[in-house]
Amino acid sequence: MDNRQDNISLTLTHGPWADILDELQVGLPICDQPFDALAHKTGLDQSEVFDIVNNLCQTGIIREITPVFNAKKLNYASTLIAATVAQDQLDNIVSLLNSLPGVSHNYARNHELNLWFTLALPLKNAIDGDVFHPFLLQLQNQFNLATIMSLPALKMFKLKVLFGKKAPAPARQVIAPHFGNLPSAPAPAISAADKQLICELQKGIPLVPRPFDLIASVLANKPEPVSITGPQIVEKLQIWQQQGVMRRLSARVRHYHLGFVHNAMLVFALPDDYTITQVGQKLASYDFVSHCYQRRRNNRWNYDLYAMVHASSATELNNNINSLINEAPASQHQILNTAHEYKKSSVLYFQ
């Protein structure tokens, strides 16, 4: 981290920089002039907002400002995949996975299962009702993998935290955990024009006063032009948000730049007399937990409750992990520390 970034990180503990970073993670207002709305909300001038956002992007604290879509509503299936990869094959498989639009997160972890990545694929690619098996079989054969398995989510207990004002203190929760089954409502129709709009939005929201007017102009000049105005894009995004197609339009941050340099995935195999929803809710209530899911177990991997834990030091991480273990003392657990981040981005749908 260079000195400029150090100075910026220090300002994120209070004041307008912190307010802007917080608001961008919660969600950019869906309106014709979202940055002007953000300025009004934080009591700043629009020029100040643009200066702050530009600096946050240029220093790498903000990765991107893009929509967060619900894969299921776009007729995609998503899962977490764990694999045991030989060292001489690791670079090759990472290169392949990182090139795929459906791979958003890809990590090395200190475990026999040393590669963990998330994958989203169109449901139309399913063979005999299974969208992932053909792909996993191809990877297993191509890279001679000892183990590869899909661990789809069954329940989501938490998906959102806020990194910023309290950095490098534990991340604080700003949206209540989502308890219960994953969404199962029918997916709305997504037209060819909608798909082009989604592809353009995924490139990032332009940092201009009227970003959706600019996106409309770009779409109008595509080889297959889309006739849509900026206000119509705003209306479309508002409808998608109401339908659950889009969760929010927000910034993704590099939490490492904000002092959260230690993290691990903690997995539990809960005894039959434990209620997984109760334990999941307890784990999700901790500020330092960013993601918490129930995932399908199998005959090779008996763990069904997952929590991502963040901290600013190794000691703090250990203390955080122990706090979670105490919530389910009779369960088996494993700690999978992050060894390397290969990729962290949004899924690129319809690519």
Residue 207: per-residue pLDDT: 94
Nearest 5°: the CA angle 340, 254, 289 is: 80
Residue 272: per-residue pLDDT: 83
Residue 14: per-residue pLDDT: 55
Which DSSP string do the residues of 280-334 spell out, in sequence order?
HHHHHTSTTEEEEEEE--BTTB---EEEEEEESSHHHHHHHHHHHHTTSTTSEEE
Ordered by where they begin, the domains of the chain are 3-68+185-252 (1.10.10.2890), 72-152 (3.30.70.3460), 154-182+255-341 (3.30.70.920)
Sequence-distant (6+) residues with CB within 8 A of 315 are none
Walk along the chain (351 residues) in steps of 10 and give the mean pLDDT of each run.
Answer: 47 71 92 96 93 92 92 95 97 98 97 97 87 95 96 90 50 39 63 97 95 98 96 97 94 83 94 90 92 95 95 95 92 94 94 92
Task: Using CA atoms of 107, 113, 117, 122 in order, give the dihedral in degrees to the nearest 10.
Answer: 170
Residue 8: per-residue pLDDT: 47
Residue 185: per-residue pLDDT: 56
pTM for this prediction? 0.86
